[in-house]
Structure 1
Amino acid sequence: MESKSKTLLMDTIYDIIGSIFLGMGIYSFAKNANFAPGGLSGISLILNYIFNLPIGTLTMTLNIPLIIISCKVLGKNFLLKSMKTIFINTIILDYIFPHLPMYKGLPITASIFTGIFTGLGCALIYMRGSSTGGIDFIVMSIKQKKPHLSVGQIVLVINTAIVLVGGAVYKNVDAILYGVVANIITTIVMDKVMIGVTDGKLLLIIIDKQYGKPLANDIFELIHRGATLMDGKGSYSGTSKEIVLCACSNVQISAIKSIAYKYDPKAIVMITNTNEVIGEGFVLPEMTAQ
């Protein structure tokens, strides 16, 4: 099992590298090109353009009410991890990138690189079970109230609104195009890094018998997903195994894998795409009948 100190170290390393990528996307490329790529960073860029306040500090300040509103939904572990990530991101954005050169070329090129670096940064942070807050907190709160809603649809509506507001504030219709391009590329990059975003993923975990129940409990307590336990037996070794079956979203895959390998480094994790997942937390049965 991975020690707490090693886990904290790896989380911090991923936070720092992810925040550097995010800083490159937001500060080095998007800021000077005058467009809002969506998310809380997009709102911070808009406010920075109007009031000339630090982007990182704005992002952290905007996150505070979202943390308060969502604290009951987020879970202690995820909340603390995200707060650490937000703090690291703020330091890097406000104290490192202002001293580095900004891209001053074509805005469309800036939007492409904004999408690439933002996607890389978010993916690395998500892979350690953390987030940069903002829309992540909003989505989780909405999903708690409306579990049948698609995460993609929620994010699309919020980001579209931010991009449109950015176009109005910058007084440039092209700024809307740049924001859309950045968002699309961010999604594509995250798809590639994190296996691919679909309506659902199916995880089949073959683990030592004694770890099946604790793993299922952790998946429920930490990831807020249910799991099904089945008895299994190795055909060659004859050793009793527990088979843990779990449907989840793409963002949750890395966290579940980490938990499984924490209990059993020799666990076998199989991941498959699912065309449709019906049930609590995904699409409710009555929705499919309409």
Structure 2
Amino acid sequence: MNKKWLQIMKQVIPITIGAALYAFGLQCFVIPNQLMEGGVTGIAVLFNYIFQLPMSITTLVINIPLFLVGWKILGSKKMVFTIYGSLALSAFLALFESYDRLSSIISFEQGYDSMLIVLYAGVTLGTGLGIVFRFGGTTGGIDIVARILSRWKGYSMGQIILIADTIIIGISVFYISLDKILYTLVMVFIASKMIDFMQNGGYIAKAFSIITDQGEQIAEKITAEMDRGVTIMPAKGAYSGTTKKVVYCVVQRSETHRLKQLVRSIDPGAFIVIHEVQEVLGEGFKEDED
């Protein structure tokens, strides 16, 4: 298998897994318990409740015009995996719909602890969508809009989907009971957090701002022993007027303790500020996918 096909498979396989998880959550947690969803999928769920239309067909039909918009704005490269993700979702929905005993085997139909069902549903749906997003795909619908706004405006995809889902779920109050709506909102909130975690959680890093008199020595040791890039900036104490150096470095979360020990071994009196970083692009971290 050549390098190009290997790279494609590195995206296709996770997107397939994510779409399967999402379809599984819909069929095993959402539908059997008369919960709702947001976006195009939510519309499909609502049509399933009212008209008994299969979600696999409804989601695909509604997504077609959005595919055209996404193709123009996001480009053909991005939309290839979006279309694949949507087709994979419809395929898995059709598979789970054809096996109507699935939800009873999983044993999460009505009558079980509602909050437990909501928790599992939110985690499953959010994890599935988060995997799809992280590897460059979407499942269509609001996901396409979320990717566009996330790319252009820098908004969190989870937040965009949460707002859109809340609006669509609000409309469904005329068709399903209020308690189901309230449970659904909790599920959607959990799913949105899982989406953001799956998107950024693997890239959470720590940024160190080290104020010290031994800037060069610390920077040299970080470079030699930890193979991390370091930036040294001049600084001056506002009260004391003392000239110092600020050493700035970003490391993986697992390297935090090691870096603190390294700094203390050179300058025990160094002032260290540690920041949580949600995403890092560059050598040694995540490569830019855009």
TM-score bucket (shorter structure): 0.5 to 0.7
Q: Give the equivalent residue in structure 2 for 1:217.
A: none
Aligned length: 217
Q: Does 1:91 align with 2:86?
A: no
Give 2:255's aligned residue: none
> Contact 1:36–1:179 (CA<8 Å) still a contact in 2?
yes
Equivalent pair of 1:37/1:178 in contact (CA under 8 Å): no
Name the amino acid aligned to 2:285: V
- Residue identity matched to 1:3: K
Residues 166 and 175 in structure 1, CA contact (< 8 A), matched pair in contact too: no
Tell me the TM-score normalised to structure 1 length.
Answer: 0.63
Q: In structure 2, which of residues 177, 183, 188 is the aligned counterpart of residue 183 of structure 1? A: 188
Query: Is this contact kept in 1: 2:158–2:195, CA < 8 A?
Result: no
Partners in 1 of 2:44 and 2:60 — Cα distance?
9
2:178 counterpart of 1:173? yes
Shift in Å, 1:270:
7.2
After superposition, the C-alpha distances for 1:29-64 in whole angstroms (9 at most, x for unaligned) are: 100111212222211100111121211221111111
* 2:170 pairs with 1:164: yes
When the two structures are superposed, what TM-score results if normalisation uses the length of structure 2? 0.63
Match of 1:21 in 2: 21
C-alpha contact 1:36 1:162 (8 A) present in aligned 2:
no
Is 1:7 equivalent to 2:13 in the alignment?
no
Shift of 1:159: 1.0
Residue 182 of structure 1 and its aligned partner are, at CA, apart by 0.9
Letter in 1 for 2:16: I
2:284 is the alignment partner of 1:268: yes
CA-to-partner distance for each residue in 1:41-95, whole Å, 9 max, x for gaps?
Answer: 2111001111212112211111111122232211211101110111111111112
Shift of 1:160: 1.0
Q: Is the alpha carbon distance of 1:202 and 1:161 closer, same or farther for their aligned partners in structure 2, counting shifts above 3 Å?
A: farther
Distance 1:188 1:152, change over 3 A: closer
Q: Which residue of 2 aligns with 1:104?
A: 109
Structure-2 change in CA distance of 1:270 and 1:35 (3 Å): closer
Q: Does 1:56 align with 2:62?
A: no
Unaligned runs of 5+ in 1: 204-233, 244-248, 261-266, 272-290
Matched residues in 2 for 1:123 and 1:153: separation? 13
Residue of structure 1 equivalent to 2:128: 121
Q: Could you tell me how far apart the structure 1 residues matched to 2:154 and 2:286 are?
A: 25
Output the amino acid matched with 1:15.
I
- SS of 2:285's partner is strand
Would you say the 8 A contact 1:44–1:58 is kept in 2? yes
Overall identity of the aligned pairs, in %: 23
Is 105-114 or 88-97 further displaced after alignment?
105-114
Q: Unmatched 5+ residue regions in structure 2? A: 208-221, 232-276
Structure with the greater alpha carbon radius of gyration: 2
Rounded to whole Å, the distance in 2 between the matches of 1:235 and 1:109 is 48
Q: Aligned runs of 1:195-206 on 2, under 5 Å?
A: 195-196=200-201
- Aligned residue for 1:275? none
Q: Shift of the alpha carbon at 1:155?
A: 2.9
